[in-house]
Chains A and B, each alone.
Chain A
Amino acid sequence: MLGQIKLVLFFLFLSSIGGVIWYVQHLQAENEILTLNNEKLNGAVEQQQALIQQQLRDIESKTAINEQITKNNAKLTADLNLANEKFNKVNASGERRDVGNLALSKPKSIERIERKRERQRARCFEIAQGSALTEEELNATKKSQINAECTNIANPNYTPY
């Protein structure tokens, strides 16, 4: 009887040793997985940080683009106001400029001016489409040299005086 108990205890002892070995191996395997997971998580954190940085750069870029477009649009609106100003300019004696009256009194002169203007308008459309500015346009600094129809886009170096 005692011998049988000893045998059972011996097998139990063996199985418990086996269990411990298996458990330690299992822990080691888990530890490896956890280490790998940790590496992956670190990688994911780095990726997330890079993504956040990219998003911040995108926001910055978007804001800059919006600001630039708003600024340029405001200037284009000012350009339209300038065209309006030309037609409604009031002279020293308080009279509004009337192109009709001017054309009646000096048809040849107005015709010449309008033909020149028409050429300038055509050039303005080319510039608006992306045509590169000529040296002449870039170097224009005098009133006689500028494109009076779209000075803001045609003559960037001209400063009104």
Chain B
Amino acid sequence: MLNVLTLPILTILLISGCSTTKSLQVFTKEVERMPLNLQLPPVETLEQVNVIIVTSKNQEEVFAKMKEANIDPVVFGYSDEDWELVTKNNVRMRNQIIKLRAIIEAYKEYYEPEEQEGKSNMFKDLGTDEDFVPKTFNKDD
């Protein structure tokens, strides 16, 4: 009779003594960093530079005109081939500026979409592919 009562009690005690229900750990959410929100530098306006064409035939005329205009009669020049390279270098530098700006704007758009909304004017389509088909040029182009 004693066993009949003690056994269930002991079993209940054993079972309940072993069972543990752990409370869940709550993971806190990381606080977002403040957006850096740096402004891009203002547009730098370049100085107007005048190109002077000096050939073996017109050199005297060119220097005379320079003297007349109170400009030192000296020319820092390029050969026609180098002028071609300078022009292409200009395109390269300009393209690089556009690419870097596009990357900065893309980063801003990705990480700070709300602040950036409606502000981007660089991260846009440059035009259709047809715009880049080699064009024909007139003499003056």
By DSSP majority rule, is chain A's interface helix, strand, loop, or mixed? helix
A20 interface contact, C-beta 8 A: yes
* Contact code string A45-66 (vs B, CB < 8 Å = 1, else 0): 0000000000000100110010
- Nearest CB to that of B100 among chain A residues? A128
**B135 and A82 contact, CB distance less than 8 A:** yes
Residues of A with C-beta under 8 A to B125? 68, 71-72
B127 interface contact, C-beta 8 A: yes
Residues of A with C-beta under 8 A to B16? 23, 26
Residues of A with C-beta under 8 A to B53? 103, 107-108, 110-111, 114
With the chains together, A125 CA to B91 CA distance in Å?
Answer: 9
With the chains together, A119 CA to B48 CA distance in Å?
Answer: 7
With the chains together, A108 CA to B57 CA distance in Å?
Answer: 12
Binding site for B on A (CB under 8 A): 8-9, 12-13, 15-16, 19-20, 23, 26, 30, 33-34, 36-37, 40-41, 58, 61-62, 65, 68-69, 71-73, 75-87, 89, 98-101, 103-104, 107-111, 113-115, 117-119, 121-122, 124-126, 128-132, 143, 148-153, 156, 158-160
Could you list 15 further interchain pairs (A-B, Cβ under 8 angstroms) beyond the known A37-B21, A126-B45? A12-B9, A20-B12, A40-B24, A61-B110, A72-B98, A87-B87, A100-B79, A104-B57, A107-B53, A125-B46, A128-B95, A143-B138, A143-B141, A152-B131, A153-B98
